[in-house]
Copies of this chain bind each other. A is one copy, B any other.
Amino acid sequence: MHHGTTTATQPPATTGRTGLWLVGARGSVATTATLGLAALAAGHAPPTGCVTAAEPFDRLALPAFDDLVVGGHDVAPTTVVKQAEALADAGMIPGHLLAGTRDALAAADAEVRPGHDPRHHQGSQQEAAETLAADLVAFRERHRLDRVVVIDVASTEPPLDPVPEHDDPELLRAALLDPDRAVLPASSVTAYAAVLAGCAYASFTPSAGMTVPVLTRWATEAGLPVAGRDGKTGQTWLRTVLAPAFAARGLRVLSWAGTNLLGGGDGATLADPVAARSKLTSKNRGLRDLTGTDVTPLHIDNVPDLGDVKVAWDHVHVEGFLGSRLTLQTTWSAHDSMLAAPMVLDLARLLALAHAAGLAGPVPELGYFFKDPWGSDVHGAAAQAVELADWAGRTADAVARRP
């Protein structure tokens, strides 16, 4: 492949200073991650909710929280500070943490560059991607970072209709150069930019991103680790905890019905049934695989008065011994971004490790973090947790043994 603005460099053998580049840097998840990172680094809060802060990951050589430097792309004018204020007013972020991290938030916002906005873009998608990639390279150089991990936490896009260009490098390259064509959604232009800039990449959204086959291939060829997609933070996580447990008991799930209520930015986006379709598809995939039933009706409702609180109700109908029936209902209520943010930090640390180890292409063992795990068919959370811990240990050992 050709690399517009950079070449994939041989990753250094340590996991040193790492850039965390957030696409959607001014959104709710990104702001919470940025604020949280500053609070952790300053010792104002413990790393509760971070997988990598607990056993066995805490024994591994991952970049420390205060080795992470934040920047990102966004298309909205509201600054990270303003977003944090709004989240504090809504009761999600405690006032004293906001007070203690204002400077760090302003510093992060100073690193935010205009994202790719298809509605206003002029010129070819190749140009768009190169502009984004240049931002990444400049960020890496400006802060003398060992590496940069790009994480997409931008608004969910509608499902992508496949076209031949997605599967054929030549066709795609040609289309990218044609200013009159736009064969990639914004999330995939961004993913392509990460490849061009030689960055590790993760997609925390259900958007297409790196799933366009040619992009995955180019990332692999460039020796870049990638992971996705759609953060498994709440209801879906819970389902992938429970479903394998029923299976282990020999109990047969007949139906698994659910509903989600949420407000905030994500609620407003998903109020659009087309955008919601991406999300619903990725939420149900693992469940069907784990249970064998396809009676899994699921809804997402925009309930603005809930703000960033997500409430999810599930009703599981199960067949037991001698045709008997049992039901399990769960109600989950949580600040959605508070679940997502520590996982974003985890991914930054673990993809830094993967990059240091020279891994290329989808990292299946990072499936723990995703509703729709790239490169993996394992959906059960307990099995994924074991896989993740094994992988991280093995990979850290490999990096350590490097000359």
A residues contacting B by CB (< 8 A) are: 32, 35-36, 39, 45, 47-54, 91-95, 97, 237-238, 241-242, 244-245, 247-252, 254-255, 257, 259, 261, 295, 297, 299, 301-306, 311, 313, 315, 317, 319-324, 326-335, 338-339, 341-342, 380-383, 385-386
Between A and B, 7 residue pairs with Cβ closer than 8 Å are: A32-B321, A48-B321, A94-B322, A297-B303, A322-B338, A326-B334, A327-B334
Q: How many copies does the complex hold?
A: 4
Contact B305 A321 (CB under 8 A): no
Chain B residues near A342: list those with CB within 8 A.
Answer: 250, 320-321
Contact A306 B317 (CB under 8 A): yes
Contact B322 A51 (CB under 8 A): no
Contacts A36-B321, A245-B241, A245-B381; A303 near B48 (Cβ below 8 A): no
Task: Determine the main DSSP class of A at the interface with B.
Answer: mixed
CB distance from A207 to the nearest CB of B (A): 23
Contact B249 A49 (CB under 8 A): yes
A250's partner among B50, B245, B338, B386 (CB-CB below 8 A) is B50
Chain B residues near A386: list those with CB within 8 A.
Answer: 386
Chain B residues near A49: list those with CB within 8 A.
Answer: 249-251, 320-321
Chain B residues near A251: list those with CB within 8 A.
Answer: 48-49
Contact A248 B51 (CB under 8 A): yes
Contact A328 B331 (CB under 8 A): yes
CB distance from A93 to the nearest CB of B (A): 7
Contact A322 B385 (CB under 8 A): no
Contacts A48-B250, A321-B338, A334-B320; A305 near B255 (Cβ below 8 A): yes
A319's partner among B48, B299, B326, B331 (CB-CB below 8 A) is B48
Contacts A50-B250, A54-B247, A301-B297; A36 near B330 (Cβ below 8 A): no
Cα separation A302 to B297 with both chains bound (whole Å): 8
Cα separation A385 to B251 with both chains bound (whole Å): 14
Cα separation A251 to B92 with both chains bound (whole Å): 17
Contact A250 B47 (CB under 8 A): yes
Cα separation A299 to B299 with both chains bound (whole Å): 8
A255's partner among B303, B317, B323 (CB-CB below 8 A) is B303
Chain B residues near A53: list those with CB within 8 A.
Answer: 250
Contact B45 A322 (CB under 8 A): yes
CB distance from A291 to the nearest CB of B (A): 12
Contact A244 B54 (CB under 8 A): no
Cα separation A317 to B307 with both chains bound (whole Å): 12
